[in-house]
Amino acid sequence: MSLAPAQFAQLNRLIDLQLEVFPEHRGFLTKRFADSDAAHLDFCEQLSGNVFKIAGSDIRRIVEDYRWLSDMVLEEELFFRREGRYRLSKFSDALEQVYANTPFMAKYMNGLLASQLWWRNHTEVLRYFRDGFLPGNRQGFTHLEVGPGHGLFLGLAAAAPNGASAEGWDISAASLENTRAALSAMGASAGIALKEVNIFTAPEGQFDSITFSEVLEHLEEPLAALKILRGLLKPGGRIFVNAPVNSPAPDHLYLFRTPEEVRDMVAAAGFEIVDTLYAPPSGAGLDKARRQELSISAAVIAKKSS
Ligand SMILES: C[S@@+](CC[C@H](N)C(=O)[O-])C[C@H]1O[C@@H](n2cnc3c(N)ncnc32)[C@H](O)[C@@H]1O
């Protein structure tokens, strides 16, 4: 039986493909979509269309890699629950084990692509980015994303009617390759420069808008990175920061324990906080997620004062 109403055809098709390779996930996905309203499902339908475009004939690999990602995250979760910390704490280890490991990184980004739909918090944050962040940028804004990964945020920024230009920086050549292919499949690659850059040795630049999504927790010194990003914004420019709390993964180094810790770090870097969205995971409300220390996405929209 379909998990979403019949008019959401691409979403239902993607769910069916996912369940073919991961039948044990039916209960999770049933809960995930149980209380979704039409606007949320509509967004999921559009997102499914983009996932199909990005995957092309590799759609089966995407859903298989999501299964692989789920198993890997479960292992990290067991470690986290036992030890109360993330497994790695050094950037050099993450670089060696993850970012420089091309086959691993490709599977990881594929799994994360599917998670944008299957993990409700990921979907909510993407939607918040499209509807809550991008329209607030000035007409003709210039945009930078650091760590664009699967490319969905950068694709949305490049398609914003008020945008003029967009570029992406990432420390991982393998990840950039993924971004390049995704943007091209979405028809959004024209004029988007993708550069291999470590944010701590970033070149000069001046942008109206920056996305920094799911990168902060990958760093040993997240506050220092936010200060660098502030330096890359024009006065009055806006930043979209998104970081998960209590979210173990093979390359997560910095443990945020509450969404407020993310917000407060953005403020400590000198930004003025404009708005926040704290999105609990599939199947839990925010109170339960806080009580049980589940993974919560903390999205923060902030501004550099003029
Ligand atoms: C989990 S992905 C984020 C993908 C996407 N932005 C999202 O929200 O799902 C993290 C990305 O950050 C990149 N990254 C990690 N440390 C970095 C650094 N110091 N400078 C630039 N990119 C970095 C990784 O290579 C990876 O592509």
pLDDT digits (tens, 9 = 90+) for 25-58: 999 999 999 989 999 999 999 999 999 999 999 9
- 113-146 as b/e, with b when 16 or more CB fall inside 10 Å? bbbbbbbbbbbbbbbbbbebbbebbeeebbbbbb
Tell how far the Cα of 172 is from the centroid of ligand 1, in angstroms: 8
Q: Is 116 within 8 Å of 123 (Cβ atoms)? A: yes
Residue 283 confidence (pLDDT) = 87
Tell how far the Cα of 219 is from the centroid of ligand 1, in angstroms: 9
Residue 1 confidence (pLDDT) = 72
Residue 112 Cα: closest atom of ligand 1? 9
Q: How distant, in Å, are the alpha carbons of 12, 26, 41, 51, 145 from that of 5?
A: 8, 16, 9, 19, 34
Q: Determine what percent of the chain is predicted with pLDDT higher than 90.
A: 89
Q: Is 57 within 8 Å of 140 (Cβ atoms)? A: no
Task: Report the residue among 195, 215, 227, 239 best suited for mutation to probe ligand 1: largest number of ligand atoms under 8 A from its CB.
Answer: 215
Residue 156 confidence (pLDDT) = 95
Average pLDDT, integer, range 71-96: 95
Residues near ligand 1 with C-beta < 6 Å? 99, 112, 146-150, 153, 169-172, 175, 198-200, 213-215, 218
Residue 178 Cα: closest atom of ligand 1? 27
Residue 266 confidence (pLDDT) = 98
Task: Report the residue among 66, 170, 178 best suited for mutation to probe ligand 1: largest number of ligand atoms under 8 A from its CB.
Answer: 170
Average pLDDT, integer, range 128-134: 98
- Please give the structure tokens belonging to residue 132: 């809550």
Q: Is 89 within 8 Å of 78 (Cβ atoms)? A: no
How confident is residue 62, by pLDDT bands cut at 50, 70 and 90?
very high
**pLDDT tens digit sequence for 91-116:** 999 989 988 888 998 899 899 999 99
Q: Where are the alpha helices (DSSP H) in the chain?
A: 9-21, 26-34, 38-55, 59-83, 91-94, 102-118, 120-128, 152-159, 173-185, 222-232, 259-268, 286-291
Q: Is 193 within 8 Å of 154 (Cβ atoms)? A: no
Residue 94 confidence (pLDDT) = 93
Residue 13 confidence (pLDDT) = 97
**Residue type at position 283:** G
Kindly report the protein residue whose alpha carbon is nearest to atom 13 of ligand 1.
147
Residue 118 predicted with pLDDT over 80: yes
Tell how far the Cα of 33 is from the centroid of ligand 1, in angstroms: 28
Residue 297 predicted with pLDDT over 80: yes
120-303 falls under which CATH superfamily? Vaccinia Virus protein VP39 (3.40.50.150)
CA distance 48 to 306: 39
Tell how far the Cα of 146 is from the centroid of ligand 1, in angstroms: 7
Residue 52's Cβ-count burial label (10 Å; 0-12, 13-18, 19+) is: middle
- In the chain, CATH 3.40.50.150 sits at 120-303
Higher model confidence: residue 271 or residue 102? 271
Residue 148 Cα: closest atom of ligand 1? 6
Average pLDDT, integer, range 133-162: 96
Q: How distant, in Å, are the alpha carbons of 46, 71, 165, 251 from that of 261?
A: 32, 28, 32, 20
pTM: 0.96
Tell how far the Cα of 35 is from the centroid of ligand 1, in angstroms: 31
**pLDDT tens digit sequence for 226-268:** 999 999 999 999 999 999 999 999 999 999 999 999 999 999 9
Tell how far the Cα of 23 is from the centroid of ligand 1, in angstroms: 30
Residue 99 confidence (pLDDT) = 85
How confident is residue 274, by pLDDT bands cut at 50, 70 and 90?
very high
- Please give the structure tokens belonging to residue 62: 């995407």
- Please give the structure tokens belonging to residue 298: 């903390």
CA distance 13 to 36: 17
Average pLDDT, integer, range 269-287: 96
Task: Report the residue among 69, 92, 171, 247 best suited for mutation to probe ligand 1: largest number of ligand atoms under 8 A from its CB.
Answer: 171
Residue 203 confidence (pLDDT) = 86
Strand order in the sheet with 207-213: 193-196, 163-170, 141-146, 207-213, 233-245, 296-303, 272-279
**pLDDT tens digit sequence for 179-219:** 999 999 999 877 899 999 999 998 888 999 999 999 999 99
Residue 213 Cα: closest atom of ligand 1? 8
Kindly report the protein residue whose alpha carbon is nearest to atom 8 of ligand 1.
213
Residue 64 confidence (pLDDT) = 98
How confident is residue 141, by pLDDT bands cut at 50, 70 and 90?
very high
